[in-house]
Structures are given as C-alpha cells and as structure tokens.
Structure 1
Amino acid sequence: MSWSLRAQFGSLSSGLINPSGIRYSHKNGKLYVVDPEHEGIAIVATNGTVKSLRTGLGPVSIAVDEQTGRVYVANSGDRSIAVIDGSTDSVIAMGSTAAKPYAIAVDEVNDKVYVSNTFSDQLTMMDGKTNAIRNVEAGSADAIFVDARRSKVYLLGYESDSVRVLDEQTGSLSKLPTGAMHVWAIVQLGSVLYVTHVQDASMEAINVETHVTQTIATGAMPCALAVDADHNELYVANYAGSSISIVDARAGTTVATVIVGGHPQAIAVDTERRLLYVADAQDNSVSIIDIRRRRILRKLGINGRPYALSVDSRTHRVFAAISGSTPYKELE
C-alpha cells in the first residue's frame, strides 16, 4: 500500500486505521472496537455497559471466531496478537508476529488465524487450539480474506495486479489475476471474489473455481465493499466519485448510483432492513441509504472521524469506529 493512498484511506490522527477495527460478535453478544489511546479495545455489551481491555500497543484490527467465541487483536506497536476469551473478556494468550501486523482474519472451520505484516513478506499464522505461531513467506498483504469452505486464504496487496492464494491443506501459493494494479477492497459472494481497482473506476469479479474474470464499472477510486447475499447485490464506496455503486451480482453490472457527496470510505449493510450505512471520515458523517428506493434517507453528523462500521443484524444496532479519544459511536 503506497504512503500517498494510506494518507487518504489509512491514517488519521491516531495512526493507521483498518476496516477491521470494529467487529460485532453474535455468539458473544458484544461489540469490539480498537482503542489505541488505552492500548487495547473497548468491549460493549448488549445492555450498553462498556469495558476497556488492554491488549497491547497500537491495536489496529480485530477478528472474531463465531464458533469458539474467541477474539483476536493485532497490535502493531508491540508486534503481537492478543487472544481474548469472549465469555470472560480476558486476555488468555499472546503471540508475536513477524513484523508490524495490519490485517487479520479467522478460518472458523480449521480454527486458524492469519495476520499480515506491514512491509514484510511474512504471513503470521496462529493455531486457534494451541495458540502456536509460525511465519511463512507469502508476500506483503494489505487485506486477508478466508474462504473456509475451500480451505483457501486470499492475500491482497496494493502494489500488485493479482491476489495470492494460500492453500491451507498443502501450504502452496498461487495467484489470481485482478485485471489491474492497485487493488484495495475484497469480498466474496458464492464462488466469485470481488476486488476493487482503487486507482481506476472499476472492480474485478473473479470466479475462484473457473478463473473466469469480468470487469465491472464503478465510480472513481472504489475503496470499500459490502455484500447482500440474500439479494445478490454488492455495494461499492467510491472515494473520489462521492458515490455508492449498487451492483447486480448475477448480471455483473452496476444498476444504480447514489451520490452521497464527500469521500465515502467505509460501508456496511443491514440486509433485513435494506439499509446501507456509509462513513465519511473527512466530513465526520455517516449517510443512511434506502437500498430499495436508491436514495439517501439522512446524513448523521458524527463527533469524530468514522472510519469503519459494524451492524448487528439481530437487533439492527449500528456502530461506527471513530478515530480520536472516543473509539466508537452507536448510530441513531
């Protein structure tokens, strides 16, 4: 990831930010948010009580294993992974990473944790059962996506025109072409992997089984993705296009564009209510979009810079991670 684009997307007053800086766990019924000022995370229970838990210096990203209830925090400042028991809210283990960690993801089927390291070709892997750590040469990654069904780990690096694929069973590495340099966001719907071309106005749809690819037009500088599998739609936040692209996954085309203004940077969807939430860290706001009607319902002013979002699909509560002294805010 280049420093010029990190300045736009990846760093605010408190340091590096990450779309995985906020996570909600249905199993634990709790929200987890990185809290760099307190060297840990904030844990928000269903009843609204908040607990601060120290995990390490410079926490940047969180992953939750919904099978075990364990929570994993990558700490860039002291190059560590904190393992948290979701039932007791206590740190039960610590592991060291190969360098400064950034992205983190969990394979809930195989009980593995994967952590990328900034400016390092080493991928750190943790065994969820034993907490044992090992590092492998897998190339620098700015985002990690796990396809547990196929036992594949997809490693996305900004300075690349491909996604590296780690086979969990064999340990072998392969590549999937992304159609352009400078890829940013990554999601999966069925057998298709979607990757945005952040310096263009498009994203690539890659069938991981057939390797057939398709380029889909978006707005300028697509930087974040959300998926509604029930309606076979994808939502793309276009940073320079000041808009949201709504993509029909079956047709492989953008079917609507909603102008939100500013620089949308993060996105989350409430699939049942058909509402889309779009954060803009530059103008301290979150826009709420009615997906059915393809229009903005309202724009909420936020006291702070919202850089990531999380939706509790059961209660329909929505939270924004905020850079500053207050690590999160529940939206109205």
Structure 2
Amino acid sequence: MAMPNLFIRPNSMTRTVASTLLYAALAASLMACSAPAQNQQNTAPTSVEQRAEPVVTRAQIAQGIYELVYSDKLDLLFVASAGSFTDSTVPYQILIVSPADLKVVGTIPLNRKAFSLALDDQANRLYVGNTGQAAITIIDTQSRQVLQNLQLAPMLKGKDGKERPEYHFRQLLLDTAAHRLYMPAFDNEQGKLFVIDTQANKVEKIIPGFGFTATGIALDPKHQRLYVSNMQGEAVVLDTQTNEIVKRFSLGAEQPLNLAYDEINHRLLAVDQGHPKMRGFQERGIPGYQSRHPGNRVVAIDLNTEKMVAEMPASGPVNLKLDPARQRLLVTNRESGEITVFDSNNYRKLHSISTPAHPNTLAIAKKNGDVYATVKNGEDAAQGMFESVARIQF
C-alpha cells in the first residue's frame, strides 16, 4: 500500500510496479486482498504488546483494509475496506470502529472498492477514493448514508475486455477552507492533479505537469501552497489560490511516496521508500535515471531554503503523520513491521513499536494523542484472513 499508495496499471510491467506500491498507504492496490476465512468473524481486540509506554492493542476487523481516519467530532474511526480481489462475495464497505475497544459498531456498504479517505469532520462528510474505478464516494457521517458517487474520469476497455480507469489515482487531501479536494493521478506515467469543488461536487480542474508518477501530497494552508511529490524525486508546488504550478524543487529523496507538512518548523517531510523493484521502474521510465541513495529513510526539507536538513532511518517506510501538539512524528515501516516515533523538532527516535506484519496508514486522535494504524497481512497469511487495526496509547 503504500500511496501511499497503490497503483493500478494496464500492462505486465506496470502491474509489477502496482505490487511494489502496495507499500503505500493512501489509495488502492489490486493485489493485497484475498478470499474470506470461515473463522474470522470474531472482532474482539487482543493485546499484542504492552510496555510501560506505549501500549498497543489490535483487532482483526475485515479483509482488504487500507486507509483510516479518526473523527474527533464523533469519536469514531472510519476504515476503508476494498474486500477481496479473488472473492466477489466479500463486501466493499466503510467500517465504523469504536476507538476505545476497536470493535466494529457499524458498516456503510459501498458499490465500489474503498482505498483512500479524507474527512471533513465539521461538514460531516467522508470522501472515499475508489481509485480502481476513477471515482469518489461521498458519505454523510451523521446519517451514514452514501450521498453521491462522483466519477472523475471514464473507464476504458482494454484489448483483454477488462475495464480500467483512464487515470490511475492515489490519495485524497482536503482543503476545507477553500472547499477543495485534491487527488494526484497519472496516465502514461505523467502526473496530473485533479481538483474537486466540494460545494458543487464536481471536477473543477485537471492540472498537468506533475512529472513522472505523482505520489505524495501535503498542504500548507497558511501560505496557500500544495506540495505534490513524484518519482523523479521532485516536489511540485501549486498556488492554491490560482491552481497554478509555481515552482518545483528536488527533495533529495528518490522514492518520495508520501508527504507531510510541518507548520511549526515550515518543513516538508517525505518518506524515501527505497524499494528495488521501484528503482527498476524508474530506470525504465526516466531517461538517464541513476539511483544515488538506497532510501529507507524519512527526509526533512527546510522550505525556506528548499534544502534537506535532516534524515531519519526507516525500513520500507510508507505513511507518516505529525502530531504537532505532542511534537511527535510517526512513520509506518512495512519491512520491519514497526511504527517509529520521532521528536518532530530534533528528529530523535523516541519509540520503535512492533506491529507485525505490515503497518500501513495512520490516524491520530487530537484529544489524547492516541494513534491508530491499519496493519496489512504478511504474504504467508491464510487466504481470507482479516486484517487489523492497532491502537497505540502513550
């Protein structure tokens, strides 16, 4: 998974990359789910690790879970489930999970696979990225009803007779003040940005020019800047008032899968995944490309100078989240099966938390700092085994 996330491709070479980008958290892979096991209906949480600090509990809740968001307003978790890619009877749904005990307290049925999520808590709107169908599902979180399916781009039929989206989408990012929803996409590996008007619920603009395979996305609302990374190792900067690209600069990271904006320090943080199969994909797709760093790190860029000021070790990093109130930076590490916690000011490692097999995406409860993570199964998991949500209490 992860974006994050996950890509869907029409030919054999790019299907290999789709499998690689399973490491991304924020959107959609066609490769990660399987048929349901018959003995996976118990969703009671079980403790997998207890330390004086932090304490981790987890619960198996469904097949094919991807992103999750926490509603401070409702004190609930919303978890995207894409069902199974081998068993059509497994439902696509949003799981509503109690953050206190990780029990599933409700579901919202969908007619399209759910991968990425964005929550407008004040407006009671949950946006669900149906990346494999080039669509977004809009849900009222109070009534728990689907309000609209918004088709972003057409589905095209290939020579094999299967339908695939004209564009391949990743994660969602909301600018609630501007009433816009942003979604990176690409076709023929060239990055674009879809801008959705959340008042009219329609595509406002499709902006080209985001380079080879657009990946992560982060917002600086104070300075009206949106940052989109690509697999050329660039950050492409958008003026959110004009929806025009104003600059681009090197991140110093070769595989910047996901981004986060640190408002306190005015820095851009990026995971540098360092996956060898992705490196091969870059060599084939970028003329003259040569890898100069093995990745497996998180980098911090000072946006005043656009220079790297720090790097933190990681192991197949996927997702990252900032908790500015508690000065924490959290990173999921797919390869080591851990979530690492850094001091967000000096980047000193505070904790390394075991959450095997593959921690994917993160959400944080503002009120108490509890952290929630989706955890993907390992490759040796039984077919149909439910995947997990973990709770970390500091």
TM-score range for the pair, normalised by the shorter chain length: 0.7 to 0.9
User: What is the match of residue 169 of structure 1?
Assistant: 199
Change (3 A) 1:329 1:66: closer
Structure 2 match to 1:220:
254
Q: Which residue of 1 aligns with 2:87?
A: none
Task: Give 1:103 shift.
Answer: 1.0
In the alignment, does 2:380 pair up with 1:328?
no
| Displacement after TM superposition at 1:298 (Å) | 6.8
- Quick check: 2:26–2:170 contact (8 Å CA) kept in 1? no
Structure 1: distance between partners of 2:108 and 2:197 = 26
| Offset, 1:162 | 1.4
CA shift, 1:223, in A, is: 0.9
Report the CA distance between 1:205 and its aligned residue: 1.8
Alignment of 1:14-29 (within 5 A): 18-19=25-26
| Aligned residue pairs, count | 308
- Deviations, residues 92-139 of structure 1 (Å, cap 9, x unaligned): 452323x22211222223322211224212321122343332212113
Aligned to 1:206: 238
Aligned-residue CA RMSD (Å): 3.9
* Partner residue of 2:352 out of 293, 300, 317: 300
TM normalised by structure 1 equals: 0.75
| C-alpha distance 84-246 of structure 1, shift in aligned 2 (>3 A) | closer
Instruction: Note the alpha carbon deviations across 1:261-302, whole angstroms, 9 max, x for none.
Output: 6433232334355443333322344555455445x5477373
1:115 pairs with one of 121, 125, 128: 128
Instruction: Indicate how the Cα distance of structure 1 residues 102 and 270 shifts in structure 2: closer, same or farther if over 3 A, else same.
Output: closer
Alignment check: 8 A CA contact 2:216 2:258 kept: yes
CA-to-partner distance for each residue in 1:23-82, whole Å, 9 max, x for gaps?
Answer: xxxxxxxxxxxxx9857977799x97968585x543323223323334323221112224
Ranked by relative contact order (alpha carbons within 8 Å, sequence separation 6 or more), the top structure is: 2
Q: Pairwise mapping of residues 178-327 of structure 1 onto structure 2 (< 5 A)? A: 178-190=209-221, 191-197=224-230, 199-210=231-242, 211-218=244-251, 219-240=253-274, 241-249=295-303, 251=304, 253-258=306-311, 260=313, 262-272=315-325, 274-293=327-346, 296-297=348-349, 300=352, 302=354, 304=356, 305-311=358-364, 321-324=374-377, 327=389
TM alignment of 1:26-175, pairs within 5 A: 38=40, 52=59, 57-77=63-83, 78-83=91-96, 91-92=105-106, 94-97=108-111, 99-133=112-146, 134-139=148-153, 141-159=169-187, 160-173=190-203, 174-175=205-206
* Cα 1:221–1:177 shift into 2, 3 Å: same
Q: After alignment, is 84-93 or 167-176 more displaced?
A: 84-93
Q: Is the 8 A contact 2:260 2:321 kept in 1?
A: yes
Identity of aligned residues (%): 15
Letter in 2 for 1:18: A
SS state at 1:169 partner: coil
Tell me the distance in 2 between the aligned counterparts of 1:51 and 1:243. 26
Deviation by residue 1:154-179 (Cα, 9 ceiling, x = unmatched) = 12225452111111222331123353
Partner of 1:9: 21
SS at 2:331 equivalent: strand
What secondary structure does 1:177 align onto? Answer: strand
Report deviation, 1:235.
1.0
Aligned-pair distance for 1:143? 0.8
Is the 8 Å Cα contact of residues 98 and 104 (structure 2) preserved in structure 1? Answer: yes
Q: Which runs of 5+ in 1 are unaligned?
A: 12-16, 22-35
1:136 partner letter: L
TM-score (norm 2): 0.65
Tell me which protein shows more strand as a share of its residues: 1
Q: Which runs of 5+ in 2 are unaligned?
A: 1-6, 10-14, 29-35, 48-53, 84-90, 154-167, 275-294, 378-386
Name the CA shift for 1:57/1:284 in 2 (closer, same or farther; >3 Å). Answer: closer
Report the alpha carbon displacement of residue 144 of structure 1 after superposing the two structures with TM.
1.0
